[in-house]
Structure formats: structure tokens, C-alpha cells
Amino acid sequence: MSAVKDLIGPAVDRLASDLETLSRQIHDHPELGYQEVKAATWLTEFLDKHGFKLERGVAGVDTAFRATIETGEGPTIAILCEYDALPGIGHACGHNVIAAAGVGAGAALAAVRDRLPKGRVQVIGTPAEEGGGGKIRLIKGGVFNRVDAAMMIHGFDRWILHQDLLGIVRAGFEFTGKAAHASADPWEGVNALDAVIQTFNNVSMLRQQIRPESRIHGIVTSGGAAANIIPEFASALFYVRAPELDEMWALQKRVIACAEGAAKATGCTLKVVQQPDNAYEPMKRNGTLVELFRANARVLGVVESPESRERMGSSDIGNVSQVIPAIQPMVQIAPEGTPIHSRAFEEAAVRPLARDGMLASAKIMAMTTCDLLANPAVVADARREFDAATAPRRERA
């Protein structure tokens, strides 16, 4: 395969200008989850131009897609794209780079398709990673049923070829009290905002008694209509994260208890709003795939940093990794020390360092895909490792 892989780098380089334009287009027109109409259109048009068979709206998700090239009976390797933006701060997660790198890897493979081993390459567009659980809907819709292995990259401030992810579940709290004039008749009111504030205070005290890898963070989503009215309704949304699913569900119960205690203390009624079907699962490590990616990264001179246990996020790629072998290496697209989900990271996502990371990761993913197509035994090794993993899926308690 070395002769074919030697063609990948030049193929990506020939696409560099188009990929940079595509990345900037997506960056400059941020769209929230399930609203990525422009991004999905640009990406599918690009893949169509490079000879892929397109399926739009897969699994009933309008902005999802699957693009396929097939060279015969063999493994099916998927390269995933994300392209949704964050509310208020756009592509501060660098999803424009993820998308451009993914289609760039696919287009480079299409350029050498006559020399590829037998199998299928799929570029799968996965909307709504930022809280919408797009990949979960695609899993349920059967999009990954015949995929043997999947890969994608994510922007970061350094190269880390495997990064654990935390599981995440959301819990919304809606408190109902009783309105009254805040000056003339405050004793007639039941203050729903007090219940929200007490919930935050309870959670703050809870944090001392949780494991250091776990995270709880929330926002007030409604706090009242006017300062001279005792708020009769107030609400909050919390994210609960942990490295293992059983820990995550147990911690969520403790956070719900914080809200229940606040409701009782203030005399409010509480409605707990949960989305158990939208929980993000931890990332299952697959060393077989990581080592293939690492070998190709070293060919390009990538300098790898050690894994971080202090800066862990969550993603629905974790759910994919629980059903098939999957990896998500972190790629440097911003200067070291740049915090992700920040305005500085959003600005960095279209700077020269991001362009370098996009092109390098497109090459590495395409080269790794070549390796997997050429070596079905390695694909089988990845599956055996996946099956033998000691962290089985656990459903909500």
C-alpha cells in the first residue's frame, strides 16, 4: 500500500485551496444543530463533484448525509464530519475544520480509487454534535450498522491521538411558585427564582463530594419577568458528566435531589425535564485504530502530546465508539494554551495553523483508511479489541 499512500499527500495538497475555502465558508456562516442547511449543501456538493454516491437526509435527519465510493467487496470504513456551530460564539469548537478535513480525506481517496483495495469508503455527515445528539439519531437509524470502523478528528490546541471523553446527561428543572408584588405583598408570594438559586447552592456544596473527573455545570434559563414581581416561574439547565455511565447516572440522581431539596425548602413545585435518550457516552478506546493513525501521523512529522485527564469534554462520537470501533484524535488547530469554546479558538479556526491541521489530518485519515482497506485482518483485530473491552454499555438506571 505504500505506493498508493504516497499519492495521498499530493492529492490533498491539490485540494488545499478548495478545502480552505470550504472551511472558511462554514466558519463564516455558523448554523446551529439540525439547521446546518448551507454546510450540508456545500459538503455534499463537494463530495458529489469528486465522484461519491450521495444519500441526503439519512436516518430521517435533514442535514445528515452519507457519501460512498465502492471498489468491491471488503471492509467499510467511515470518515465522519461535524459542522454545527455553538450558540453565540459560532465555530469556537472548530467544526469547520472537522468537516473540511473529513471531506478532504474522502476526496483524496476518491482521487486514487482505481488503486484502492476492495471495500467501501463512506463520508458521513453527522449534524448537531453540540448537544443535539445527531450521531445518536444516526445510530438508531441504522447508519452505522454495516460500518466496520469509523474515524474523525477534532480541533484542539495540541495533537493528542487518543483523548478520553466524559459521558454527559442533561437535566432541566422548572420551578413553579406564586406571583405577588415584591414590595407591597411579598409574603403572599412563593419565589421560584429562590428555588433555582438554592439548587445552584446545593450543587456547589455537592461538588466537594464528587470525583475529580466528574463535572456539573448549569445555567439559569428563566429567572422571572420583572424585579417587582415575585417570580412564579423559574428554570435552570444542568449538564452532568462522568467518565463511566453508572457514575454519570448516579451523579445525575444527586443533582436532581439538589433541586428537589430546593423545591421543598422554598415551597415550590418542581418538574424535572430529562432526555435519557440523548445521553452522550464515554469514548471507548481502540488501540488498534489509534496505532494505525499514530504511524501515519509520524510519517508527516506530527509531534504528539500526552493525554490530558484535566481537560476532558463530551461528544456523541462516544456513542459511536460504543457500537463500532471508532477513534477521534485531537488535532492542533490553535496555539497551545488556547481554550476550546472560546472566542480565541473561534478566531484560530480559520488561521494558518488551522489550515495546517486540517490538511495534515485529512492526509492521515486517508492514509489510515488505505491501511484498513488493505488489511481486513487489522479491521478484525480492531473488532476483537472492541468486543473484549471491559467497559460494556450500560442503560439508564
Looking at 50-118, list the stretches that DSSP marks H as alpha helix, in order from N- to C-terminal side.
Answer: 95-111
- The tally of domains found in the chain comes to 2
Q: What is the pLDDT of residues 75-92, one digit of tens each?
A: 999 999 999 999 999 999
pLDDT of residue 307: 78
**What is the band of 394 on the pLDDT scale with cuts at 50, 70, 90?**
very low
Q: What average pLDDT does the structure give for the chain?
A: 94
Give domain status of residue 220, yes or no: yes
What percent of the chain clears pLDDT 70, i.e. is strictly above it? 97
| Confidence check: pLDDT of 352 > 70 | yes
Same domain, 202 and 154: no
Give domain status of residue 92, yes or no: yes
| Confidence check: pLDDT of 393 > 80 | no
What are the Cα distances from residue 235, in Å, to 168, 200, 230, 240, 372? Answer: 20, 11, 14, 16, 49
pLDDT of residue 395: 43
Contacts of 251 (CB under 8 A, 6+ apart): 210, 214, 216, 240, 242
Query: What is the pLDDT averaged over residues 343-370?
Result: 97
pLDDT of residue 390: 58
Give domain status of residue 397, yes or no: no
Same domain, 154 and 299: yes
Same domain, 149 and 230: no
pLDDT of residue 111: 97
Give domain status of residue 394, yes or no: no
Q: What is the pLDDT of residues 200-214, one digit of tens each?
A: 999 999 999 999 889
Same domain, 95 and 57: yes
pLDDT of residue 156: 95
pTM: 0.86
Give domain status of residue 66, yes or no: yes
Same domain, 315 and 234: no
Give domain status of residue 396, yes or no: no
Q: What is the pLDDT of residues 216-266, one digit of tens each?
A: 999 999 999 999 999 999 999 999 999 888 899 999 999 999 999 999 999
Please identify, among 278, 300, 335, the residue that sits at the C-terminal boundary of a domain: 278
Q: What is the pLDDT of residues 45-69, one digit of tens each?
A: 999 999 999 999 999 999 999 999 9
Contacts of 279 (CB under 8 A, 6+ apart): 167, 168, 169, 245, 248, 396
Here the CATH number for the domain that contains residue 27 is: 3.40.630.10
**What is the band of 396 on the pLDDT scale with cuts at 50, 70, 90?**
very low
| Confidence check: pLDDT of 391 > 70 | no
pLDDT of residue 1: 63
Same domain, 374 and 247: no
Same domain, 154 and 88: yes
Same domain, 37 and 124: yes
Give domain status of residue 96, yes or no: yes
Q: What is the pLDDT of residues 95-149, one digit of tens each?
A: 999 999 999 999 999 999 999 999 999 999 999 999 899 999 999 999 999 999 9
Please identify, among 278, 309, 331, the residue that sits at the C-terminal boundary of a domain: 278
Q: What is the pLDDT of residues 271-321, one digit of tens each?
A: 999 876 788 998 999 999 999 999 999 999 999 998 776 677 889 999 999
Give domain status of residue 395, yes or no: no
Query: What is the pLDDT averaged over residues 369-392?
Result: 90
Same domain, 335 and 250: no
Which DSSP letter does residue 259 get? H
Contacts of 31 (CB under 8 A, 6+ apart): 37, 38, 39, 83, 84, 85
Residue with cell 471492509: 75
* Host domain of residue 25: 2-165+282-388
Same domain, 286 and 274: no
Same domain, 18 and 134: yes
Here the CATH number for the domain that contains residue 215 is: 3.30.70.360
Same domain, 147 and 288: yes
| Confidence check: pLDDT of 389 > 90 | no
| Confidence check: pLDDT of 392 > 80 | no
Please identify, among 278, 307, 339, the residue that sits at the C-terminal boundary of a domain: 278
